[in-house]
């Protein structure tokens, strides 16, 4: 009974339109100061959010917590209604299938071609071969790689590799797209191409969270900006700007 009540209280604590809630979250490692210290955040369904901050500010830890690669030392993280701290190991894959993930270093399967990399995400959710043959070309066309589906990913330029990663991230129609420094390895042209694609994905209803150092894109896009420093949120502004740590 107590368990049911606790669940009920937790459900009440998470506003209905929040897709991500961090409630007083602390993450400590065995040595040093906590990487996150009492962070509370609410991200609504369909939002586009930038998370900015210097190295060591806790951005990477935050992403790892949202991916359920780490569990909080204290506090509660609720993503799509699921308490990540209580999630069983066997349920993590199912949870991650609802997320799209993009990394700075692309993390593509290097020995496979463009098509196979994107199709792999569909294989994981056991889509039929017929569906895969329909969905993969469509998403590759969306990111502008329809003509390169047979290319080995190692033969592509950085911007193209990031598009493949983006295609793989969205092919399963995730509710949330998490991007960790997605433009960190790209030139300005490709940076803007990737950001436009992300905006388009966001307009289709997907919540987009971008961790970045890129002041220019943050200031130009006028989205919500969460600034972190030494494990705490120091600014959280709608249509915000990039703040330096000492501001």
Q: Which residues bind other proteins (CB under 8 A)?
A: 67, 69, 89-90, 93-97, 99, 101, 107-109, 111, 120-121, 123-126, 128-129, 168-169, 172
Q: Which is nearer to other proteins, 9 or 89 (CB)?
A: 89
Q: Is residue 160 classed as helix, strand or coil in its secondary structure?
A: helix
Residue 79 CB, shortest distance to other proteins, in Å, is: 14
| 3-state secondary structure string across 210-229 | EEECCHHHHHHHCCEEEEEE
Query: How many angstroms separate the CA atoms of 55 and 47, rounded?
Result: 24
Residue 223 CB, shortest distance to other proteins, in Å, is: 24
Query: How many angstroms separate the CA atoms of 128 and 211, rounded?
Result: 34
Q: Which is nearer to other proteins, 31 or 126 (CB)?
A: 126
Query: How many angstroms separate the CA atoms of 63 and 70, rounded?
Result: 9
Q: Which is nearer to other proteins, 66 or 233 (CB)?
A: 66
Q: For residue 145, what is the DSSP state?
A: -
Residue 238 CB, shortest distance to other proteins, in Å, is: 30
Query: How many angstroms separate the CA atoms of 165 and 171, rounded?
Result: 10
Residue 83 CB, shortest distance to other proteins, in Å, is: 19
Query: How many angstroms separate the CA atoms of 53 and 157, rounded?
Result: 28
Q: Which is nearer to other proteins, 172 or 207 (CB)?
A: 172
Q: Which is nearer to other proteins, 93 or 147 (CB)?
A: 93
Residue 93 CB, shortest distance to other proteins, in Å, is: 4
Beta bridge partners of 228: 233
């Amino acid at each position: 009974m107590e368990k049911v009540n606790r669940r009920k209280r937790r459900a009440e604590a998470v506003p209905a339109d929040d897709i991500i809630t961090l409630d007083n979250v602390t993450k400590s490692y065995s040595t040093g100061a906590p990487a996150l210290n009492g962070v509370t955040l609410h991200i609504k369904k369909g939002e586009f959010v930038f998370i900015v901050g210097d190295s060591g500010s806790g951005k990477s830890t935050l992403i790892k917590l949202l991916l359920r690669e780490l569990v909080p030392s204290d506090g509660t993280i609720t993503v799509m209604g699921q308490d990540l701290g209580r999630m069983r190991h066997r349920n993590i894959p199912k949870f991650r299938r609802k997320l799209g993930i993009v990394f700075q270093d692309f993390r593509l399967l290097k020995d496979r071609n463009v098509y196979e990399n994107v199709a792999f995400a569909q294989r994981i959710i056991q889509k039929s071969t017929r569906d895969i043959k329909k969905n993969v070309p469509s998403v590759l066309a969306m990111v502008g790689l329809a003509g390169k589906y047979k290319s080995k990913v190692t033969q592509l330029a950085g911007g193209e590799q990031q598009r493949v990663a983006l295609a793989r991230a969205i092919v399963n129609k995730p509710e949330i797209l998490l991007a960790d420094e997605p433009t960190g390895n790209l030139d300005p042209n490709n940076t803007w191409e990737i950001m436009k694609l992300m905006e388009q994905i966001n307009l289709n209803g997907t919540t987009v969270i971008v961790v970045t150092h890129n002041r220019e894109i943050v200031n130009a896009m006028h989205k919500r900006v969460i600034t972190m420093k030494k494990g705490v949120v120091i600014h959280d502004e709608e249509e915000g700007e990039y703040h330096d740590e000492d501001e």
